[in-house]
Amino acid sequence: MKLDQRRILITGAGGGIGRAMVEALNASGARTMGVARRQRSAVAGDPAEPQTWLQGDLTLAPDIDRVARAAIAWGADTVVHAAGVPAFGAFGQQPAEQTASVLQINLWSPMALTQALLPHLHQLPDARVVFVGSALGRIGIPGSAVYGATKAGLHRFAEALRRELAGSPVSVQWLGPRATQTAFNSPESVAFNQATGTASDPPEVVAEALLALLRSGAAERHIGFPERLAVRLNGALGPLIDGGFRKHRDALFATPSEGVTP
């Protein structure tokens, strides 16, 4: 796939990973349209700004419809679903309404936006839908029950949709970053990653992986080792490797100021 001929709609374009993606896509010659919750205009000369901004809160159905209509009128042939929110913490301590809103943005929104765009994408010779997931959607670790569930659900959705649309002009792709150095991660989450020896990448690594994924046409691309191995082991062995996450559990419940308990 030649990126300089693409028109790419990207949600989460103002976030840490989204900005790096926009910058890499702009540099490759692609045209970019970003979605942001608040109204904003492109800053001329900023290489990480999309050429066009759309305003939309992607938890709201009317906003999704409006974003989809504008993207169709603009001629989007690729959508990158990068908007998302974290939910790090012990599940027993998380407010139920937070769970609902995390599910809404991380899982429901990309499904709804994809559905709104599909009739248009089907009319194109080659369209792409890319879901930005997470290693935590492929492997459940303490502290990521809710977030991991949203990304696991998204992965299964992407997998089924990819198979459902096989042979059509619409290809579905999955990008699985591991921890990435953006504002997405709270100080508690960063401390947890340090305590558990979890590596994290600069967002530019994720952006380069997106370009490689788009160019290759591969179904999936996962970032980082040992995360790729852990995902495979988890898929094959499941409960047999539960003991390998003891240090994550210890780190999660070792937050003395909060006195967090299961």
Ligand X SMILES: NC(=O)c1ccc[n+]([C@@H]2O[C@H](COP(=O)([O-])OP(=O)(O)OC[C@H]3O[C@@H](n4cnc5c(N)ncnc54)[C@H](OP(=O)(O)O)[C@@H]3O)[C@@H](O)[C@H]2O)c1
Where does this chain touch ligand X (CB under 6 A) — which range of 35-43, 71-79, 118-126, 238-246?
35-43
Residue 207: other Cβ atoms inside 10 A: 23
Q: Which is nearer to ligand X, 15 or 170 (CB)?
A: 15
Has 63 been annotated as catalytic? Answer: no
In whole angstroms, the minimum distance from the beta carbon of 72 to ligand X comes to 18
Instruction: Exactly one of 53, 131, 147, 174 is catalytic; name it.
Output: 147
Choices 57-65, 163-171, 213-221, 247-255 (CB under 6 A): range interacting with ligand X: 57-65
Residue 105 binding ligand X, by CB under 6 A: yes
Q: Which CB atom, from 48 or from 127, has the smaller least distance to ligand X?
A: 48
- Give the per-residue contact string, 172-191, with ligand X (x = CB under 6 A; - = no): -----x-xx-xxxx------
Among 12, 50, 143, 224, binds ligand X (CB under 6 A): 12
Q: Is 16 near ligand X (CB under 6 A)?
A: yes
Binding residues for ligand X (CB under 6 A): 11-12, 14-18, 35-38, 57-59, 82-85, 105, 132, 134, 177, 179-180, 182-185
